[in-house]
A and B are shown apart, each in its own frame.
Chain A
């Protein structure tokens, strides 16, 4: 066990001072020193999202490695002679492994044509004539398909079907007349296994997101997040984020949410356990029941009666998620990047994409001595407008609200010459497109971006790419 670190005096005073500074703008400059911060990996290459925090002790590193191997593991249908320790896939599932969607711990790849959207999940709400919330205040499941569409099934159980995307194109013009083409996905279902899907129900398409720096984000104190929300309200602008409050399965109470694209999970552990049961059909001590809907009798009959994922396996994956480093910044001394950082601040991006957050005293991760991180998120929900809305509320997140996405590591796919897929459903194939989709509370910042001249826009994007 790691020795307990003594609590620091005046913690709350410091938090409020930093939050006040952020609200006033003077403390909101992100990391711009030449040395990478201690929590960031200095490694390079295509596996940069899979690197551990620097300085893990050997025992923690071994746990990290075990977690990474389980993250990569293709889980198998029970019973298995060859790999009984990784059996339990299904009865319904999306993929065989975590890595299948979180490619090298990063984003999924949306389909470009008519092939199935295999690296994405589709979440449902119930028909509008049914209660929209469950007993905990979360989204009620669809009566026939549950909360998430599962295209795969073990033998003897009907698959729920297949989802493909139809891309709707539209153009956006900058003030200087330059036109950018955007695309928006719509889901089409094939071979539905449990009856037709009502066109009126909420359907939320989600692309897998990078899993970096999660332990650091978990270590940001709730008080600080609340203070950011208060600061935004006091500023009396269009930006007025609020935290989500969600059900904690382990603590059996409502807590602040901070993980997931609607901040609908309170901890890394619950986020990981939810993904295992929803995406792979692997139950755990956190979620001991399969996700079969009431009408899916074959699924219910094949459900596991005890957790399929052991606590040791779950803990290892959780540790590997918590200890995954954030990438260090690149090109910070370039003039374009420096200029872009100023623009980022001036046009209002930093109002939600808060450059600096403090780590609390109870950080459940191998702790860096450095107490400030630079993820460029406020962990709050913001209304992002009709263009990005999915119409599916999730606890206190409305159908048009999303948690501010962290920006660290955002430029790395482009540096590796890989396909770029940003936003919750992967619709933006460049950072520029992602900015242009911002609406709602971010409308003014988006309009300010469109009003910039070409070199200023490029400078701003260079800055974001350097994060």
Chain B
């Protein structure tokens, strides 16, 4: 049994070492590159979205490396994501690969999810699996925490790239913490590192919130590392959805973190009264929330042909007018190049700077 899971942000760092430790063999293909996307685009339906194409390409690369089981959670609409597993399985089987596609009936349901993991990872003990699942989720939330911390502190750094170095070490440390006590210890070490770092006083960096579809928001292969680019321009980056929050809304492993979906719904209500799939509620709700709470600009990012985010985009035109907040909409497809994104980001940042001076 060789298991492979497509990339999604830092997810592979959360589950990889833990599952390996539990005796599961994991195939980690190289991080998605141009080749991955080309492979995906070649075999995917024309109007499938970018996440579909990248994950499909990644699956092919994993199968080339000898994976025989692929994990794709599945789901039940209205977004297309729930049908990824079926179409991808068909495409890959048509290409002549033989493997098992592991997908859950309802990935939002804990017992379904555990059944699936039991099946594909071949773990016997149910309680052990339960512990393992939650441990992975907690690790994920620590990874997200480190990244949030990085985005928060980066604009204030004195020594160039000191934050990046600390962040890299932090991720490494969390990756190698294989028990709860170790994880907590690592967290306190990391916070100490960040605290000790020299910070510039008196700077008031621009704050930009990235909203949009989960995959493009989180995965560097889809968003051309836009978040890091912004951070390196000295801008504080916030995001509407974090993977750990997204999963916490479903599995409640962080008892004191409020349900971000409900939180967003409350703010989205004047504009979008019903969840129309994907992350549309979070996109609208968080834009409204942050626009009212001192953010200079919003970047709305989603893949070409994404249905829920198109609804959100239409609605955000009104939010933009009502709350007087600049929104940059970036629609990503397989032809999007890093250079083009960079130009638009620079222009947007210029605009934000000028707006701030005028005030």
Please indicate whether A and B come from the same complex rather than being unrelated chains.
Answer: no
Interface residues of A (CB under 8 A from B): none
Interface residues of B (CB under 8 A from A): none
